[in-house]
Structure formats: C-alpha cells, structure tokens
Amino acid sequence: MTNQVLPRKAAARITAAFTDAGVTGRLHALDIDTGATVSVAGTQPVPTSSLHKVPLLATLYREAAAGRLDRTRQIEIPTEARTPGLSGLAVMRDAVRLSLRDLATLVVAVSDNAAADVLWREVGLDTVNRTMAELGLPETVAVHLMTDIHDLLRADRAAPDPSDVNGFSALDPARTNRSTPQELTALFAAVWRDEVCGGELGAELRSLLGGQAWTHRLASGFPFDDVRVSGKTATLPTLRAEAAVVEYPDGGRYAVAVFTRAASPATVLPAADAVIGTTARIAVDALRLR
Amino acid sequence: MDLLAHLRYFRAVAEEQHFGRAAVRLRLAQPSLSQRIQRLEREFGVRLFDRGRGGAVLTPAGRLVLAQAEPLLDAADRLQSVVGRLQDGEAGTLRAAVPDQLGGAAVAALLTTFRERSPGGELDLRELNSRDQVAELIAGTLDVGIVRHPNPAAGLAFGPILHQPLGVLLPSDDPLAAQPSVDLRALAGRDLAMPPRATAPALHDETLTACARHGFTPNTVRGVEGLEFTRALIMAGAGLVALIPEPAPAPGTIWRPLTGDPLTWRTSVAWRPGHDGPAVRIFAEAAFDALRTRGGMHTSVPEQQRFPRPVSEFAL
C-alpha cells in the first residue's frame, strides 16, 4: 500500500464511523516520530473549551522552565469566586491551599474548571497565546477563561429553544477559545518531544497529562493494558472532543485530536463518546501500518 | 465350587507332578489338596491324574482339561489385574472432552500419551465447546475437559494454563500465503470468521481486542462454526480469513503463523473439585505434557507491561 492510499482509506472509514455514530467529526492524527498524518478536516478551527487547559498547562511548565514561575508555590483558594463546575474544587465546600502543579493535576484528572481559572489568572491569557505562537501554533488562541465560557453557555441556554445549539456563542470558534485538531496534535507532540520544556519538567508535565480519570472517549479505542493514553477531553452542548498521545510498547507514539458534533442535543450519548476512540484507532492503525 | 480356584490347584499338581510338592507351593496340607482334586474329578466325571508312588501323572483326559484350563486362568489373571487398576483409577471409561480446533496433532498426542500412562483405560473423548464443557462438568456428565480461557466458570478446578498460538487460515492462492509468517496488520480490510460469540463471549471479545491491539480490526466478523465450513467459506474467497491454531493440512486453504505470535488461546484442563480421581489426574497430566511437547503449546508468554489507569482505582 502506498503512503497516499492508506490515509485516504482510513479517512473514508473515519468519516463512515462518525456518520454511524450520529455525529460529524474532525480528526487529525500525527506520528510523533515520523511526521506522518491522517486528517479529516483536521485544519479547520474548532472551539476548544476544556481542551484549552492543555495550552494553559504547557505554558505553566514552559514558564517554570524559564524560571519565571515556581510551580510548587502554594495558593490559598477561598470558597468565594470559584469558577462554577461539576468536579474538583468547584464542588468542594471549604477553602483549600494547593500548589500550582497540584492545581494542574486536578485540571487534567477531573477537568476542574475552578482550578483551571486559578491557573489562568496566574499565568495570563497573553502568556499562553504568546507561548502557542512561539511553538508555531498561531490558530491556538484563548480569548477568555472557563468562567467566561460558563457565562456564555448560560446566556445561550436562555435562547427561545435551548436545544437549538446552532447559534451558541460557546460553539463558535470566532467568539471563544479556539484551535484546530492539527495544532492540538502538534502541541501534544511538542510536549512529548521535550520542545515545550525538557528534563524533569517535561516528564512531570507528561505524567500529569496521563492522569485523566475517564476513559469513555479516546482511551476507549485502545483497551489494551500495555498501551498508554494521555488525553484531555472537552465538552460543550453537542460537542465532544479529546486530544491525546497514544504510546505503544514498541515505541510508536501518536498524537490524535478528535472533535465531534452530535445531531442530538442529549447530554449522555455513549456512541458519540465511543466514536472518538473508534476513529482515533482507525487513524493510529493506519499510521502504524506505514 | 469355586471352579477357578480348583483349576489353579489342578494346574499346580500337573506342573509339579506330585501332590506333596504342589501342596507346599500352594501352602495347603496335602490331604486337603487331594480332597480338592477329587472334588474336581467328581465335578468333571473324569479322572485327571494317575496317582502312584512316584507322583501324580496327568491322564489323557487330564491333559485335555489342562489345555483348556490354562487360557481360562490367564484370562482370569488379566481380569483380576484390570479390576485392580479400575480400583486404582488407572483404568475404566473416563468421559473427557476437548475444545474444537485443538489441532489434530494435539489430540493425537493427547490420546497416545493417555494410553501410554493408562494402558487399560478407556477414554470416551468428545469435541465440545468450552461453554458446553463447563455445563457438563458441573452436571457430572463429563469427568474432565480441556477448556479455553477466559472462562467465567465458577466452581470448577483448573490445571496449569497453556498458551496455544493462533495463525491465519487463508485461501491457498492468497498473496499473503507466499510469506512464511503473516503480520496481523496485513489483514487490515479483511473479514474474520470466528465461532459465534455466544459460544464463548469473553474469549470472542478478548481475541478481537488482541487483534485490534496488533493493528487488525476486521471489517465484519462472521459467526462460523466448525473447521470444515470455515474452510469452505475461506476457499470461496471474498477476503474472509480465520484465526485458528494450526489445523491438519487440507487442499484449498493454507495456514500461516502470525509474526511474533501476537495471539494465543489460553487453555487448561478442568474438572469438578473433589472429583479428581486417579484417572482425571492421569488425563490432566497427560494433556499438559502432550499439548506442551507435541501440541505446540507453551507454558508462559512474556509478561505484559501494564500502565496504571485511574479507573483501576488501585496503584499496584
């Protein structure tokens, strides 16, 4: 099989899998070591929502590597003014004191919006955007915090028919934090190639990105005990996404980003979650066959 | 009258040609031995010995009786020995089963090894899938079986695990058949014939997961039972393959090992706990040895690296 035929066949199977799951999707997969790719509309802009926590944490560690920030510094986090959310500090009832890197751990483990916004305020939107530009990711732009996305969604929900998500600002990449599947894979690849930060910090950042608690999306496509999936999800009404690095014991490592939009506005759609794993594996299998 | 016992006395006197020496050999008093021989002569209505000072000499009738008695006594000895081994559990009919596609060589090796170790043992061997074996073992209509894992059978005892490598069954004219071994990834785009999922759901899923792990996700999976039908469908073409242990060669299809042995079926002997009499133990040991040395199975596979995942809830 030639190098062109295979990704084309994979792309057709990926599109068919999206359709079968009742979603439309965008996918970009990158072999971190060879640069080979599989892409389905992978360069189009997508709203990043919780996936922008990865540029945030990459910047946190890059700033730490540059000596501009101490990731072990502890911060008092009172109960007041915490960003609303459904996990982590957002649901806790008492004041806590945590280091920046432990906040980062919560951000990945349970997509903690409150912890993320503490870090956004410490690191700054501009620093994150500048860092992404430095890494060659100009389409990866943050314009607001998790709390602002929360406010946009509350306003969107007040629309005459809240199940009609077409006009939702939080889903419009022009009006919220954005990137492309391709740039997100490039960011994960940079983390795995020590290009964001090296040494102990690089290893710590990768370990932290391996700590996500749930496995219903991208990891569901790799139910293999000896394969490591380090990913971060993003969820908005009808939008389900995850970007991750998949590492095989033979040394193969692949960055994959999958964004789906479901036809149904239902909150719980197992097939739409699982197709993120299904399509990621089709892409990774194609890259491994080359 | 115990005819066999009396025939033994008769044979001893005939061999010794002397009542006294025969009595010593039989640890009997000589008058008692004489009485027993007389009783036998009354029973048969013929005189068996000419008794004189020099000893006891067979009459012509006695010689004829001896000629018939000897095979009778030999047969009785064999009967005694079989009964003894039955009591020891080395003989008797053992109801046993093997799973489908264990491989002709493996089954032959198992039968040979069992016969060597249990010469009088009768083996009632059937082919049964693991699900049916488990049901019959629990019901008591099967004494011992060879089952595949993962097997969710509670309440059974299992012998040590053996790993049976799988290969791919292809049409003889398939381009991949030209290679000595086939990379699982090269099967991408093919359909896969497998036993119907209901016969062993956990094994079915585990096999497909292992295929996916090594880069082969079949387009479709067809539930197909039996090697002959599987062969027929593969010969019919249309990109269908099967992943099975090495079968006996047959025209039209060809079996190739998988590069790096990525797929194995885990197999072990199973029985009802507390019902592992000598025959079951001999079968279990014979199966383990035969499958390992002549069935192409091995006792261990390289230990797999396992990444801790938060969903596993314990860091081990």
On whether the CB atoms of residues A185 and A40 are closer than 8 A, the answer is no
- DSSP-assigned letters across all residues of B83-129: HHHHHHTSSEEEEEEE-TTS-HHHHHHHHHHHHHHSTTEEEEEEE--
CA distance A18 to A123: 37
Domain boundaries, chain B: 3-88, 92-162+265-293, 167-262
CATH of region B167-262:
3.40.190.10
Q: How confident is the model at residue B122, as a pLDDT?
A: 87
What type of residue sits at position A224? Answer: F
Q: Nearest by CB to A213, which of B212, B305, B310? A: B310
Q: Smallest Cβ distance to B185: which of A9, A109, A289? A: A289
Instruction: Examine domains B3-88 and B167-262 and report if their fold is the same.
Output: no
Residue A82 in this model has a pLDDT that exceeds 60: yes
Domain span at residue A120?
A: 5-289
Interval A159-195: pLDDT, tens: 777 677 888 999 999 999 999 999 999 999 999 999 9
Query: Can you tell me the distance from the alpha carbon of A272 to that of A18, in angstroms, rounded to the nearest whole number?
Result: 8
Domain total of chain A:
1
Testing the interface with B: which of A220, A224, A250 to mutate, by most B Cβ within 10 A?
A: A224
Question: Tokens 């387009």 appear where?
Answer: B219
The CATH number given to whatever domain includes residue A220 is 3.40.710.10
Q: Which of B188, B189, B304 sits opposite A225 (nearest CB)?
A: B304
Q: Is A214's Cβ below 8 Å from some Cβ in B?
A: yes
* Span B97-144, pLDDT tens digits: 999 878 777 888 899 999 999 887 889 999 998 888 999 999 889 999
A253-262 vs B49-52, strand pairing mode: unpaired
Q: Taking the alpha carbons of A101, A104, A108, A112 in that order, is the dihedral positive or negative?
A: positive
Alpha-carbon span B48 to B67, nearest angstrom: 12
CB atoms within 10 A of CB A115: 32
Dump pLDDT digits (tens) for B270-289: 999 988 888 899 999 999 99
- Given an 8 Å threshold on Cβ–Cβ distance, is A224 in contact with B215? no
Angle (nearest 5°) at CA A82 between A81 and A88: 165
Element (H, E) at B144: strand B144-149
Distance CA A254, CA A188 (A): 9
Give buried/exposed letters for B254-277 (b at 16+ CB in 10 A, else e).
Answer: bbbbbeeebbbbbbbbbbbeeebe
Q: Could you read off the pLDDT of B5-36 as tens digits, one per residue?
A: 999 999 999 999 999 999 999 999 999 999 99
- B55-89 pLDDT tens trace: 899 999 999 999 999 999 988 888 887 676 665 55
CATH, range B3-88:
1.10.10.10
Choose among B188, B209, B311: nearest Cβ to A215: B311
**Between chains, do B209 and A224 touch, taking CB under 8 Å as contact?**
yes
- Containing H/E element for A255? strand A253-262
Residues of B in contact with A285 (CB under 8 A): 185, 188, 212, 215, 217
Q: Which of B208, B214, B309, B316 should be substituted to probe chain A, the one whose Cβ sees the most A Cβ atoms within 10 Å?
A: B309
Q: Which CATH number applies to B92-162+265-293?
A: 3.40.190.10
